[in-house]
Structure 1
């Protein structure tokens, strides 16, 4: 008696084989799904995606994304994490989940530019007002708070100009007025300081983190995270996250999971290289100001020393204002190992020139600025590259 061969169209989809349980390896498995299969109707109706007790739909989580969320929460010192498609999306999620028409948010003047542009445009169009305050002057924050203020953003260190604020003083001011505090913690990466334990019983409410940077480490992933310690606040963010339909790709989650074990080593290596190159730049006669929070003389260095145990491999050089911007551009173009590109914390060192006048309401410096991001190259080679570019552009 012969058994009829099953039609391949059906057999390949409904094949009965399931691999045995118990497989374990250094890296978590990668699960890709939009549809999640339920064993029966009772399970479909009973599962709860909000608590990670079960799977309902790919957008609400898979074993891969749940694992990454839990590891980022541990890295940050939080209890819950949500993943979003980019670092900027992590900022947008916080604003959109917590603010409504008539509310006001306060943003440091030295914050990440797109954070400010989101407030100036979309949020303003929705009736949400904003003000910029001087992060280096706690009195500036205190004076900006009004009855409408519902959220205060912090950033440490400041974008591009690298000022390190007195986080404890700023959090204390917001706490005394019952205002939520969100921190852009991309620079700190969960390594430099503890956002949820700043000392003196102080902590932020929310940590937003561009996983694009240090957690990814490869310059090839876009992803963000929002981490909290309060369950009610987390659920408020989670419901907004669900309603906006934000998710991340399984392969991107896999890439970050693979990179996380080396994060402390990479952060330490780029910290050491960044300080050495910054010290070399500090001795150059063309430099008016070296902006690296871990080095004495940089704005907020005393706050960095009070709060931190490490620093990102990132610093900026303000050139003498008598040097024309065109010559600074020529210097950047002459760099060979440093590539011209945005972002940071990847394996390739980057350099970007900035015009401070258009970035700040109160620019503290007049000269042209170049931000350097250290990759994983030999630091002696990076020093030599800087030196040859100075000569090639006529600045040496």
Structure 2
């Protein structure tokens, strides 16, 4: 769905006003005018006569009724709002999950015989896609060191069609030099796609940094309440038209009820991100001082790996970061996690509640190692935190209890 939001407005204003066109909410002053687009549930749109029915396929365009799979005002409003947040975007496609958005973008670009280069710190379902679905379609996936643009350039061959980036990586938090990699890709005729879920367009604008397609899991920050699954892909006019064609061919569609939940979450996303980021920085700085912690992986934190690139390219962050324990065992790490009372143990992140998961990337790395450069071999047991809206003092006390449990388990 295309958007025409005024990009001169501040992000907080755009979050409130985006996707609220008068044709979807009503003209102010009219008895039917509302603040938010209503939930428009419809599979079938009726035509006045057979002539109108025959002309229907010609009306298969943004903002025009054709059939429920093409959307209605609730979905259009969300897509329009997201497009307005992405400088350089001509439109946004919605998908039933973040993974669906990644697969939709990749299947738009890749064909049998092509090579996909994927950053080695990519989200595990993305890696699984490379080793499974794409392989079944005759597409070869190769991995490269996320911290080396030179390694990416050397990995490009005559069959390389696309590169998938993720910065920071959602487990180990490496920040890539996205502008440099995107420039190399464009110069060599390689299409660039980035999973920008961590920063969202409020913290990083991929299209403005040379990327062709930007993908998000709306399940995370946009939804914000751990009650909806959805994804998006935004691009300029060239790739947006192709994303739309592929999504319609596959049959991707999102529920209007889910779109309404995502729109509601979008309105407060800026405030939530601001709070979660501040609390995450406070806790990351505290963890850095704890004797049980070998390394904090939080690019927003000065001195942490990737901070210089983050400070150069990003305008914001979020509550997701990791830390690595100083030696120990997997059992001791489990004791730490199990002792936490305020952190839920579960996948996903970006909601109002804090979450924790273990980090064991060694088994999935293929082009770069774990532990990371500069870390001791014995410092390999990581913990990932997603900081929510709880009071940081309470979270700090909970983490102290977890670290104490780790120490006891170590004997």
Question: Do both proteins adopt the same fold according to a TM-score greater than 0.5, normalized to the shorter chain?
Answer: yes
Report the number of matched residues: 372
Q: Does 1:387 align with 2:394?
A: no
Which of 27, 52, 58 is the matching residue for 2:68? 58
Q: How does 1:143-162 map to 2 (within 5 A)?
A: 143-162=154-173
**Cross-structure match for 2:151:** 140
State yes or no: 1:240 paired with 2:249.
Answer: no
Matched, 1:349 2:354: yes
Q: Contact (CA 8 Å) 2:60, 2:66: kept in 1 or not?
A: no
Contact preservation (8 Å) 1:166, 1:300: no
1:71 and 2:81 matched: yes
- Determine which structure has more spread, i.e. the larger CA radius of gyration: 1
CA distance in 2, matches of 1:194, 1:50: 29
1:230-250 CA-partner distances (Å, limit 9, x unpaired): 2x3222221111111111111
Report deviation, 1:251: 0.8
Decide whether aligned partners of structure 1 residues 53 and 286 sit closer, same or farther in structure 2, where only a CA change above 3 A counts: closer
Out of 112, 122, 146, the residue aligned to residue 123 of structure 2 is 112
- Residue 338 of structure 2 aligns with which residue? 333
Task: Give the drift of 1:354.
Answer: 1.9
RMSD: 1.7
Q: How far apart are the structure 1 equivalents of 2:108 and 2:200?
A: 23
Query: Shift of the alpha carbon at 1:22?
Result: 5.1
* Residue in structure 2 matched with residue 15 of structure 1 by the alignment: none
1:5 match: none
Instruction: Extract unaligned runs of 5+ from structure 1.
Output: 1-18
Point out the more displaced range, 264-273 or 41-50: 41-50
Q: TM-score, normalised by structure 2?
A: 0.87
Matching of residue 129 in structure 1 with residue 136 in structure 2: no
- Alignment partners' CA distance in 2, 1:116 and 1:144: 17
1:220 to 227, 230, 235: 227
Match of 1:7 in 2: none
Superposition map of 1:256-271 within 5 A: 256-271=262-277
**Residues 265, 274 of structure 1: CA spacing in aligned structure 2 closer, same or farther, 3 A cutoff?**
same
Q: Cα offset for 1:392?
A: 3.3
Runs of 4+ in 1 over 6 A off after TM superposition: none
**Paired residue for 2:32, among 12, 23, 26?**
23
Alignment match, 2:4: none
Using structure 1 for the length normalisation, give the TM-score: 0.91
* Contact kept in structure 2, 1:163 and 1:298, CA below 8 Å: no
- Secondary structure of 2:204 counterpart: coil
Question: Structure 2, unaligned stretches of length 5 or more?
Answer: 1-25, 372-376
* 1:205 partnered with 2:201: no
Of 45, 53, 62, the match for 2:54: 45
Distance across 2 between alignment mates of 1:339 and 1:354 = 15
Kept in 1, the 8 Å contact 2:281–2:301? The answer is: yes
